[in-house]
C-alpha cells in the first residue's frame, strides 16, 4: 500500500467518523425531543383526567338540580 492509498483511506475514515458523530448528535437531539414530548403527553393526560372528573361531577350536580326541579309542582 503506497502513501497515496493511505491518505485516501485516512480521508474516508475521517469522513466516516464525522458522519458518525453527526448521526450521534442527531440521535441525542431526537432522544431529548422524545423525552420532552413524553413529558408533555403525561401532563396533558393528567389534565384530561382532571377535566373528565370535573365534567362527571358537574353532570351529577346538574342531574340532582334537575331532579329537584322536576319534583316541584309548578303547574
Query: pLDDT digit of tens for each residue in the chain (75 aa)?
Result: 789 999 999 999 999 999 999 999 999 999 999 999 999 999 999 999 999 999 999 999 999 999 998 888 776
The secondary structure of the chain, three-state, reads: CCHHHHHHHHHHHHHHHHHHHHHHHHHHHHHHHHHHHHHHHHHHHHHHHHHHHHHHHHHHHHHHHHHHHHHCCCC
Determine the pLDDT at residue 75: 60
Q: What are phi and psi of 31, to 5 degrees?
A: -60, -45
pTM over 0.95: no
Amino acid at each position: 500500500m503506497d502513501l497515496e492509498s493511505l491518505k485516501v483511506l485516512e480521508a474516508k475514515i475521517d469522513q466516516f467518523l464525522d458522519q458518525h458523530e453527526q448521526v450521534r448528535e442527531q440521535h441525542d437531539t431526537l432522544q431529548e425531543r422524545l423525552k420532552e414530548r413524553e413529558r408533555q403527553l403525561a401532563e396533558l393526560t393528567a389534565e384530561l383526567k382532571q377535566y373528565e372528573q370535573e365534567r362527571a361531577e358537574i353532570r351529577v350536580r346538574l342531574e340532582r338540580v334537575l331532579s329537584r326541579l322536576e319534583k316541584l309542582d309548578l303547574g
